[in-house]
Structure 1
Amino acid sequence: MNVKPPSNAIPTTATAHAFEFSQVTSSAGEAWIDKNLGASQVATSSTDPASYGDLYQWDRPADEHQKRRTATITTLAVNTTPSHADFITATGPEGPYDWTIPNIGDVDDALHSAFFARTDGSGVCPTGFNVLTECN
């Protein structure tokens, strides 16, 4: 998962959410985290499992569901903060990747998008960074 900070908040090195990272800067001046969220190291190849990182469900806070060792269930959640840390794998009516029951108050995905855009550390990214929601 690539993440990018806003231009006014560019840390040089930080630790957040028990995730250590360094910042790299592209030739265009954009700052990035040097590895996937939750990865223990920068990738040495495309088949390096230590660089894969975590698997977040859209709009779901870090509650341990994102860890690759987490148990899975097939029951859809009734809200975006389930009372368990299982990864939800059910195919819902909205498509194969919907982990919540339909129409839980975010029909147009505005709340989902806002959650991943957070830069204050309350989302899945370290303070000053956010998940990209579109690519150039």
Structure 2
Amino acid sequence: MPASGWRFHRNGELPKIKASAIAALWSRSATGLHSRALFISNDSSIFMDSPRGDGVSVRCIETQAGLVIPLEPKDKETNTILFNGLTYKTLVSPHTGRIWLDRNIGAKRVATSSTDSSAYGGYYKFDEANVCPTGFSVPTEAEMTAETVGADVNNTTTAFTSFLKIPAAGSRIPNGVYDYVGFVVYMWTQTAVGFNGYYFYSSDIRAHFAISDTDYNFSVRCIKD
């Protein structure tokens, strides 16, 4: 599939953009006044709403009715994101309808328990926590609250049993030592307070939000923009 870019509609003109950087293909799926298109970059792939005036490439599949443009996969939990050598799936929140990645950034798999080390993922400082694939971001405090303490997540057990299956990855403190691994969740939001950053904290007895020095290395989970 060539990275042919796409053309967007502006004042009657269709200037070509992103050629040689992104592959884009229409699907037949529609959402309101937009249609769904697949965008593929060097580090990720995602279906997004796109204005129907945009010029996007077309690839056809054969059916009993002849050749047609394919539909976007209906089950959003099966959509895949290829990013930095790992394949993630997307999850639809039962609380907010927002779309999240199914595991921490850098994790080899979805957590099978709160102490699943293969699901811990990477540890990132606050100012380097924008490590999400194209179309996704680190959540704000409000976005993370709606899916955790606002949805009855009150300890590491309920953090794991939630739809996000958050493991207790612990943290890496500034001197490089790993701390509370297997016991506590530390997860960055993108919300800053002065020179500090907000993070989600969960232990075996409570869950809440707190602020931390930005040099600490915590887990990151991404939400769709």
TM-score interval for Structure 1 and Structure 2 normalised by the shorter chain: 0.3 to 0.5
- For normalisation by structure 1, the TM-score amounts to 0.44
Larger of the two Rg values belongs to structure: 2
Q: Which has the higher strand share?
A: 2
Relative to the length of structure 2, the TM-score reads 0.28
